[in-house]
């Protein structure tokens, strides 16, 4: 935990726990929203895995990014998650999507 706290530049175990909770809530929420979204667009498993799963992942990815910052803000860790988000998008060569 000490190395993780140093890497993420956080000071307390409480803050680390909140960050883990935000990651968990965000993942669960984005996965939960993906089902109704695929239904809305009429994408079903019967169409084939090669259509269903790529579409579902494409839906979850941007939703996850937005929810991560939102839940980070909600739990009082906006700065951490906004910096985390910017770093992740830059690593994926999508840094043009954010304004410095």
Tens digit of each residue's pLDDT (9 = 90 or more) over 36-80:
999 999 999 999 999 999 999 988 888 999 999 999 999 999 999
CA distance 91 to 96: 11
pTM of the model: 0.83
CA distance 99 to 58: 22
Confidence of residue 92 (pLDDT cuts 50, 70, 90): confident
Domain boundaries, the chain: 2-97
Confidence of residue 100 (pLDDT cuts 50, 70, 90): low
Closest CA to 86 of 74, 94, 75, 76: 94
Closest CA to 10 of 77, 74, 91: 77
């Amino acid at each position: 935990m000490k190395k993780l706290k140093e890497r993420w530049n956080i000071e307390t175990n409480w803050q680390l726990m909140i960050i883990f909770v935000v990651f968990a809530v965000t993942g669960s929420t984005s996965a939960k929203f993906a089902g109704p979204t695929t239904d809305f667009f009429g994408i079903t498993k019967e169409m084939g895995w090669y259509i269903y799963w790529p579409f579902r992942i494409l839906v979850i990815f941007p939703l996850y990014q937005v929810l991560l910052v939102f839940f980070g803000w909600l739990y009082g860790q906006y700065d951490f998650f906004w910096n985390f988000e910017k770093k992740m998008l830059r690593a994926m060569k999508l840094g043009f999507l954010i304004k410095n």
